Chain A
């Protein structure tokens, strides 16, 4: 247990210490001391601002991510279940996936404005591809013997077979989509917004509030780590059987 803690926390603690010591007493305006940044962090974020700025960002992310999950899994199952649909759609999907989603921000602004709808749409359009393509792969690889078993015993395949069998792949796509979603959340707010973390960081930068700006970057990093942690817990729960059977195969 002790060993694990040392392994997990060792490097972060060392890096923070190095940063702290190296930046101590810094007079460089653009690179303030870590002590100064931490101070700004407490002043900036321990208060109503956390709710006013972080919450809108997280709601947009949550909404966009949820829509992308629903659409990606539904369309992915439909495409993955049929060899012909897969053959027809694959080139188009590869093209759509290859478009870097941030480029869509100015375009979507044209018809969705600069409100929340635009940001949610951007997040959906970025997140949906990894989920969709991984779902297609997962559904394609479903074992035929299990499919036959469902037919013989008249078990509904969608719920009992397709979604469960594809769940490891779906989770892989969902994990990629989560990091894409966080990036797009920030980018869409940096370009055009009146609230949100990306917007706030840009505001601080324009106002030359450099320690505050850095503290916003730290906060985004922490939120990323937190969301990844929550995701990891959910995945462990959903894929208990998958990790177990994989380990059993290795033995």
Chain B
């Protein structure tokens, strides 16, 4: 699970003081799939970096219980260009026999549909495939908690739909706690069980919405569902309100 408690972050560089996160509190239960959405520049990535331990909060805490894996937005820069796909996926595996780690890598690549690309270098693959490799690496690592920072922001629309379904599939299979950060309202409603809406910087939690759509989702029927449209409208209204709130 994952707990954010009165988290704030102020950047202080060259005398310019930027307050990114004002006061954020929420928690994500074990095995839950939550999305964080907010207007651009609202400190979503700052929140993720605090959770991942890459950034020290100014005050408050961001705690992750259990082994953590992260999938970054910049897939092209988070894979090691000197390692082939299978070695990229296997790099974080430690304390396993060669057979065990090879089996893990194979399973992870199979889960993302990249069995054939095991011997390729990342830069030989398309953007969507590279992000699949990053997801496979996270799967093979066997995390309790998975953080994703706008992982599909830089891929084309069709690939994006495929990857969204892949992520739901992975979440079902692994039973991980998943926090998915996005700026895309549709995506946040389609993917998770819960949408946490942040206000514009300095951010607070504007609203925490339960997504009570059926667990079985698909791109066509779910997105056409009356309840989906209603929830999306609610998130959209919240974000508009959050934007206005910051510029009185």
Binds B, one of A98-106, A146-154, A201-209: A146-154
SS class, residues of chain B in contact with chain A:
loop
- Which residues 133-153 of A sit at the B interface, judged by CB distance below 8 A? 143, 145-146, 148-149, 151-153
Judging by beta carbons under 8 Å apart, are B54 and A244 in contact? no
Interface residue? B40 (CB, 8 A): no
A248 lies within 8 A of B80 (CB):
no
- The answer, among A143, A154, A241, A249, for a CB contact under 8 Å with B92, is A154
Contacts of A249 in B (CB 8 A): 123
**In contact, A145 and B78 (Cβ under 8 angstroms):** yes
Asked if B121 and A153 sit within 8 Å, CB to CB, the answer is: no
Contact residues in B for A155 (Cβ distance below 8 Å)? 91-92
Q: Which residues of A contact B92 (CB under 8 A)?
A: 153-155
Q: Assign chain B's interface to a size class.
A: 20 to 34
Shortest CB distance B2–A (Å): 15
Neighbour of B91 across the interface among A151, A160, A242, CB < 8 A? A160
Interface range on chain A (Cβ under 8 Å from partner): 20 to 34
Q: Is the interface of A mostly helix, strand, loop or mixed?
A: helix
Contacts of B70 in A (CB 8 A): 148-149, 152
Q: Which of B52, B53, B54, B80 has the largest number of chain A CB atoms within 10 A?
A: B80
Q: A241–B141 Cα gap in the complex (Å)?
A: 24
Is A164 part of the binding interface, using a Cβ–Cβ cutoff of 8 Å?
yes
**B240 part of interface (Cβ distance < 8 Å):** no
Which A residues are within 8 Å of any B CB, using their own CB?
A: 143, 145-146, 148-149, 151-155, 160-161, 164-165, 167, 241-242, 244-245, 248-249
Which residues does chain B contribute within 8 Å of A244, judged by CB atoms? Answer: 121, 123-124
Contact call B52/A152, Cβ cutoff below 8 A: yes
Closest-by-CB residue of B relative to A160 is: B91
